[in-house]
Amino acid sequence: MRLVTLVFLLLILSACTRHYDADEFDLVNLKGAVGQLFDVPANGDRIEKKWWPSEIKELSPESIMKFEKGIYIKLDSFFVEQRGLFIPFPGTTIEPGVHSDPSYEILGEGIYSYYVTG
């Protein structure tokens, strides 16, 4: 029973990693690729895979969503939590902070890491 509890706790803790680090991505390359997504049509809020640039496909995202403030590239999810990259539309102001939901941290080149606790 202890082993099952320990494994469960390790799974929970490993899933609770928060934001990505800037050094995990080629931000200059990604910025150019994401710029292409600003003008593609969305099916509801979802951007279909056929529109994903190869630089983004290489990240193996779970989904890409287009909302009022920008593009969300969901890279990880666990139950109701999710994290990924957020690129605001030009002229949109984002308040970075880790005490909001979603929370945002600037990585560079206008690209943010986002984290949603659900």
pLDDT of residue 82: 92
Alpha helices in 44-89 (DSSP H): 54-57
Residue 99: per-residue pLDDT: 65
Q: Does the pLDDT value for residue 6 go beyond 80?
A: no
The pLDDT, as a whole number, for residue 108 is: 92
- Position 96 scores a pLDDT of 76
pLDDT in tens, 26-83: 998 898 888 888 888 888 899 999 999 999 999 999 999 999 899 999 999 988 889 9
- Dist. CA 50–CA 34, nearest whole Å: 14
Q: What is the pLDDT of residue 14?
A: 46
Going by pLDDT thresholds of 50, 70 and 90, the confidence category of residue 13 is very low
Cβ 92 vs Cβ 72: under 8 Å: no
Beta-carbon contacts of residue 114 (< 8 Å; ≥ 6 apart): 19, 72, 83, 84, 85, 86, 102, 103, 104
Domain boundaries, the chain: 18-116
Query: In the chain, pLDDT over 90 holds for what percent of residues?
Result: 45
Share of the chain above pLDDT 70, in %: 84
